[in-house]
Structure 1
C-alpha cells in the first residue's frame, strides 16, 4: 500500500474548502463537531495546528471520503489511518467473494462492479448484451463504463433515449465531482460533455429514467440500482459500487430469461 500527498496546501485551508463545498458555516460545523467556532476559525486560518483526532472529527462531520481524509492527515503532517488495499489483496478476499456472489446471483440480468471513477472491475456474462458492437479499444482495460455508454463508438448508437440517458449520466458525474473535488472526475465530466448526443431534461414518463437500448430488431429497457459497502474502513472498499440492472418492462424480462 502506498499513499502519498497530492497537495502542499495547509490542512486548515483544505478543511475550509470542504466546509464551503458542503455549504456549512463555521458555526454550523462547530456545533456538529462540538468545538468552538473560535477554535475552528484558528484551524482554518493556520493559527492553530489541528491534532489528527481533530482532523478526523472534522472530516467525519464534513462527510469527506476516506481517500481525502488521508490526504488531509498528510497535509497536517500525520500518517494516514485508512488503508488502501488492491482488490485482489488477501485482506479483501471476503469482499471480492461477496461481490462475485452478487454478480453471479444477478444473472440473467446485467450487473457490474465499478470503482470511484466508474472504471469496470468485474461483471457478469449478461453485461455482454449491453456492450455488443462497441469498438474494441473502448473494451480494453481499464474500461470506463460512462465513457463506454456515451462514446459514439460505444453504446451510444444503440441507446434509443440517448439524450435522456446522457442527462442522467452527466448529472451523476457532476455531483460526484463536486462531492469529491477529484480532478480526474472533473476531467471525465468535461470529456463526456463534449461528446455528441445532446441532453434531454424532459421529465421521464415512468417512475425511473430507463436505459432503452436496441437489441437486434427489438428493444431492451432497464433501470439500475447502485449498492455500496456501508461500513467500509478501507479506501478501496469505500469506493466500490455494484451497478445492477433490472428489466423495466415485461418484454425485457422475457428476453433476458430466454437467454438462460
Structure 2
C-alpha cells in the first residue's frame, strides 16, 4: 500500500541545503512556466483588444504552455524533479515519493514563483492585467470542478508513468515532452470551459496580482483531488512494492 511510504520528514530537512536548492529550482521553474504561459495570454489579449477567445488563441495558449512546461520540467528535473505544480507535488506525496516537509517547501516556492512571474509581467507590460482563471459562460462551478479533476488526473498519471515509476527505463528521457504535451492537449480540451489550469500555482499568481478570487477554490480543490487520485492509483496498481525502493526526491 502507498500509505505506508508516506513520511512527514525530519525537521532539519526544511533547512537542509539540498532541500533549499530544490525549492529554489522549483521557484525558478515555476517562474519560467508562468511567465511564458500567462504572458502568451496577455499578448493575445493585447493583439485582439481583449477580444473573446478564438480557436487560434486557444491553440496558441496550448502551445505556449506545452513548450514552457517542457522547458520548466527539463531545467528542474535533476535538482528538484521539476514538479512545477502543487498538484504534482501532492500526487508524489500521497504515493510516498516525497516527504511532507519537502512538499511544503515546494509549494511555497511554486506559489512564490508564480506570483513573481505575474508581477514581472505586470511591470514589463506597463500595468497590463494578469488574467485570473474564470469559468466561461454556461459552465457551472461543479462542471469546472470535475473537469479540473479529470485533466489533472491525466497530467499526474503521465508524470508517474514517465518520471516516477522505477520501471520507466528509457521512457524517462521523454518525460518533459510527455508532460508538456498532456498539458497542451488538456488546454485544447478544457481551455474554452474553465481555462484548464491543472495547477494551483498557475491560478494563484494571476489571482493574487489582479486580486480576483471568484471560484478560485475550484482551481485548488480540483487539481489536488485529481493529482492525489492519480498518485494513489499508479502506486497501488502499477508499482510493485515488493521490489520498489522509495525514489530519492532528486530523482524526481
TM-score tier after normalising by the smaller chain length: under 0.3
Instruction: Give the TM-score normalised by the residue count of structure 2.
Output: 0.25
Q: Which has the larger radius of gyration?
A: 1
| More strand as a share of residues | 1
Instruction: Give the TM-score normalised by the residue count of structure 1.
Output: 0.25
| More helix as a share of residues | 2
Taking CA–CA contacts closer than 8 Å with sequence separation of 6 or more, which of the two structures ends up with the larger relative contact order?
2
